[in-house]
Amino acid sequence: MSALETIDVKTSTRAEMVDVTALVRAAIRRSKVTSGIACVFCPHTTAAVTMQENSDPTVRSDMVRHLSVVVPREAGSERPGQNSDAHMKASLLGPSVSVIVDGGKPVLGNWQAIYLCEFDGPRERRLLVKIVEG
Amino acid sequence: MSALETIDVKTSTRAEMVDVTALVRAAIRRSKVTSGIACVFCPHTTAAVTMQENSDPTVRSDMVRHLSVVVPREAGSERPGQNSDAHMKASLLGPSVSVIVDGGKPVLGNWQAIYLCEFDGPRERRLLVKIVEG
Amino acid sequence: MSALETIDVKTSTRAEMVDVTALVRAAIRRSKVTSGIACVFCPHTTAAVTMQENSDPTVRSDMVRHLSVVVPREAGSERPGQNSDAHMKASLLGPSVSVIVDGGKPVLGNWQAIYLCEFDGPRERRLLVKIVEG
């Protein structure tokens, strides 16, 4: 049975994508599991986890900006001035990613990184990582 | 090997989010698994599962309403009057959530609940819960 | 410990949904795992995996078309003429699906199929399938 690992991240603006791949890699190493599936889980409702390109940063800035076109602040019409938009963006991207673990490492595509997606920052956020062997 | 648990939910309108957290908690308890990952799975294509805030109900009403702005009924232009919009909303939120199990309980944030998202109700829906130990 | 299975798919246009259910079924059979959770993972950042209806093909064509309304090519305003739209669509649908395995088979709803979602094709794509027993 592997321990529950935690990753702490401090975000710096209202909406951004923070690369946590190295921290997930370290959590998997600490777990000593060499083969299985890892659940990288976000216990917050205005932040999410996704995978995206790790090279050109404009991919992320385009994504963060266009998400605000799809879900503008006025999306929360029953709560004007509040953060319903952040909740909806979080559900669209999802609260977790499943990562295949092989040889004690996450199996990712060449251009793939794992991102904490902040939609209502800046805040201190925590991710949880649980790995099941198999 | 844990049994496959089922959760039955009756929805009451075309689009709504139904809190199933207590039912998932009970399914995990029945499985007797104390540590691992649970897959809460929706075997329907016009409904989904997500996690969201469990306190202010306007977060959910804002989300359900704004999803219909992003994906209006006319989104199904090849099937006017049909339910393509419900299918697309279901895929945007996703067919399952992964839940970390620790101490025999789901590990959730303070404000986090698990929701069945109905997009083509009212209907009788079923969720499946499978837990792997580790 | 089950092997890591691979599924190769050749897509034929820029944006389409390719049914990979039979290939996932075969990968689960090869793994010899009879009960557990399978992670069907897409190691690309302009493609995704989802579940949707397997019968009426207009559900998919409506979805692919309306996704381009929600995320038009101009969504990548910092990279005009590039593929930021494909990256964002991929993150909206997600890089993987979790599939419950029971009796050596994927547990799916009657109308449910697993789709590789191509958003920047045509290309040669690979999916990875890892199954943990439990």
**DSSP per-residue codes, C75-125:** G-TTSTTSSHHHHHHHHHH-SEEEEEEETTEE---TTEEEEEEESS-S-EE
Chain C, 90 to 109: residues with Cβ < 8 Å from chain A are 90-92, 94-96, 98
* Beta-carbon-side half-sphere exposure of residue B124 (alpha carbons within 13 Å): 2
- By Cβ distance, the residue of C63, C111, C134 closest to B36 is C134
- Contact, A7 vs A124, CB < 8 A? no
Q: Tell me if the pTM is above 0.90.
A: yes
Q: Which residues pair with C52 in a beta bridge?
A: C113
As a whole number, mean pLDDT of residues C98-108 equals 98
Closest CB to A51 among C4, C95, C133? C95
Any residues with CB less than 8 A from the CB of C26 and at least 6 apart, and which? none
Please list every residue in chain C whose beta carbon sits closer than 8 Å to the beta carbon of residue B77: 62, 65-66
Closest Cα in chain B, distance from residue C134 (Å):
5
Q: Does the pLDDT of residue C125 top 80, yes or no?
A: yes
With beta carbons less than 8 A apart as the criterion, state whether B134 and C134 touch. yes
Chain A residues inside the 8 Å CB shell of C45: 51-53, 59, 109, 111-112
Structural domains in chain A, CATH included, are 2-133 (2.60.120.460)
Average pLDDT of the residues in C2-29: 97
Which of the residues A33, A37, A41 would you substitute to probe the B interface, choosing the one with the greatest number of B C-beta atoms within 10 Å?
A41
* Those residues with Cβ within 8 angstroms of residue A11's Cβ, 6 or more apart along the chain or in another chain: A18, A47, A116, A118, A121, A122, A123, A124, A125
Enumerate the residues of chain A whose CB falls inside 8 A of the CB of residue C75. 62, 66, 69
Asked if B111 and A86 count as a contact pair (C-beta separation under 8 A), the reply is: no
Q: Pull the structure tokens for residue B128.
A: 């499946």
Please judge whether A1 and B35 are an interchain contact, meaning their C-beta atoms are less than 8 angstroms apart.
yes
Touching subunits for chain A (3+ Cβ pairs under 8 A): B, C
CA distance C20 to chain A (A): 19
Instruction: For residue A62, list chain C residues with Cβ-Cβ distance below 8 A.
Output: 75-79, 84, 87-88
Provide φ and ψ at B72, rounded to 5°: -75, 165
- Can you state the angle between helices C84-93 and A57-70, rounded to 10 degrees? 70
Residue A97 and residue C95: Cβ atoms within 8 Å? yes
User: Amino acid identity of B123?
Assistant: R
Pairing relation of β-strands B112-118 and C105-106?
unpaired
Banded model confidence at residue C95, pLDDT cuts 50, 70, 90 = very high
Share of chain C above pLDDT 90, in %: 91
pLDDT score, position A78: 77
Are the beta carbons of C109 and B45 separated by less than 8 Å?
A: yes
Please give the residue of chain C at the shortest CA–CA distance from B48: C51
pLDDT of residue B124 exceeding 90, the answer is yes
- pLDDT digits (tens), chain A, 134 positions: 788 999 999 999 999 999 999 999 999 999 999 999 999 999 999 999 999 999 999 999 999 999 999 999 988 777 777 899 999 999 999 999 999 999 999 999 999 999 999 999 999 999 999 999 99
A72 lies within 8 A of chain C by CB: no
Q: What pLDDT was estimated at residue C52?
A: 97
What are phi and psi for residue B20, nearest 5 degrees? -115, 15
**How far apart are the C-alpha atoms of A12 and C71, rounded to whole Å?**
26
The predicted structure's pLDDT at residue A22: 98
Inter-residue contact C133 to C1 (CB < 8 Å):
no
Q: How far is A54 from chain B (nearest CA, A)?
A: 23
Q: Do B100 and A36 touch (CB under 8 A)?
A: no
Burial class, A65, CB count within 10 angstroms (exposed 0-12 / middle 13-18 / buried 19+): middle
Task: Tell me what the pLDDT averaged over chain C comes to.
Answer: 96
Contact at CB, A62 and C71, closer than 8 angstroms? no
pLDDT tens-digit series, residues C33-45: 999 999 999 999 9
Which residues of chain B lie closer than 8 angstroms to C51, CB-CB?
45, 91, 95
